[in-house]
Amino acid sequence: MAVACLVLGATGAWAQTVVVDETNASWSIGGESGTPTFGYVMGPGTPPIGSGSVNFQLPAMADGAAVGSGVHNGLRLADITTLTYSTYQNTTPQAASLQFNVDYDDTDGSTAWQGRLVFEPLTAGTVLTSTWQSWDALTGTWWSTGTPVVGDSAAAVACPQGAPCTWATVLSTYPNAAIHSTLGALLLKGGSGWPAGWDGNADALHLVTSGGTDVTYDFETAVPVTLQSFTIE
């Protein structure tokens, strides 16, 4: 059951914690390529909030899976002031990435698919194994998967995967960029070209905006855990 808890945050906005699990209809989880395994789980270890997390398992290099929501569609990227989350993984240097389905100019008339903006934790620090780590996505670099449309015309890709941009450069290059209003999503993803056998988790996605949003997404599982009893003689 998705539950929201409200407290007054340091910014003056009401800080909200939303549980994302199998019952939360605002979030979807699924495979994007290959045949990955994915779901909401307990652990691993001690997650940063709650007792669970979202998990992606990638048996093959082609496998990819994501969890995402369109709740923030239309949000201007320039309005984001905090964007953090935590990961746990069995190998390095990959850790679950954070991605937007993006509209590079939400003031023009184009509603075309323009790809994604992608943040990978390895651009913001050293990825470790078998431990929870927190990442500030606004301090790393971002790259584009598609073709930007600005002023209703195709624009040069300023931040390709081989030459990612800082968050400040993304905002200065595309000042009107937003999460796509109709095709948008805020996602956490693992895979699609990562080493076979990668197994990783994500939790505690925290988004704060200048417009008053202060929300933390707590990934959990609503599936009951069956405990077995035994007798010691």
CATH of the domain at 187: 2.60.120
pLDDT score of 14? 81
Residues 143 and 166 sit within 8 Å (Cβ to Cβ): no
The residue type of 145 is T
Chain centre to alpha carbon of residue 176: 21
In the numeric block, which tokens belong to residue 96? 């679950």
Asked, for residue 133, whether it belongs to a domain, the answer is yes
Asked, for residue 8, whether it belongs to a domain, the answer is no
Residues 109 and 233 sit within 8 Å (Cβ to Cβ): no
Domain count, the chain: 1
Residues 59 and 196 sit within 8 Å (Cβ to Cβ): yes
Strand 14-20 versus strand 64-69 pairing type: unpaired
Asked, for residue 227, whether it belongs to a domain, the answer is no
pLDDT score of 7? 47
Beta strands in 50-175 (DSSP E): 52-58, 64-69, 80-89, 97-103, 116-119, 133-136, 141-144, 149-150, 153-154, 165-166
Of 145, 149, 76, 155, which Cα lies nearest the Cα of 112? 149
Asked, for residue 226, whether it belongs to a domain, the answer is no
Asked, for residue 49, whether it belongs to a domain, the answer is yes
pLDDT score of 2? 53
Percent helix, strand and coil across the chain, each rounded to 5? Answer: 5, 45, 50
List per-block mean pLDDT (blocks of 10 residues) for the chain, which spans 233 residues.
49 82 98 98 98 98 98 98 98 97 97 97 96 97 96 95 97 98 97 97 98 98 66 55
Asked, for residue 204, whether it belongs to a domain, the answer is yes
* pTM above threshold 0.85: yes
pLDDT score of 231? 53
Instruction: Give the domain range for residue 151.
Output: 14-219
Angle at Cα 223 formed by Cα 202 and Cα 129, nearest 5°?
25
Asked, for residue 1, whether it belongs to a domain, the answer is no
Asked, for residue 232, whether it belongs to a domain, the answer is no
Chain centre to alpha carbon of residue 87: 10
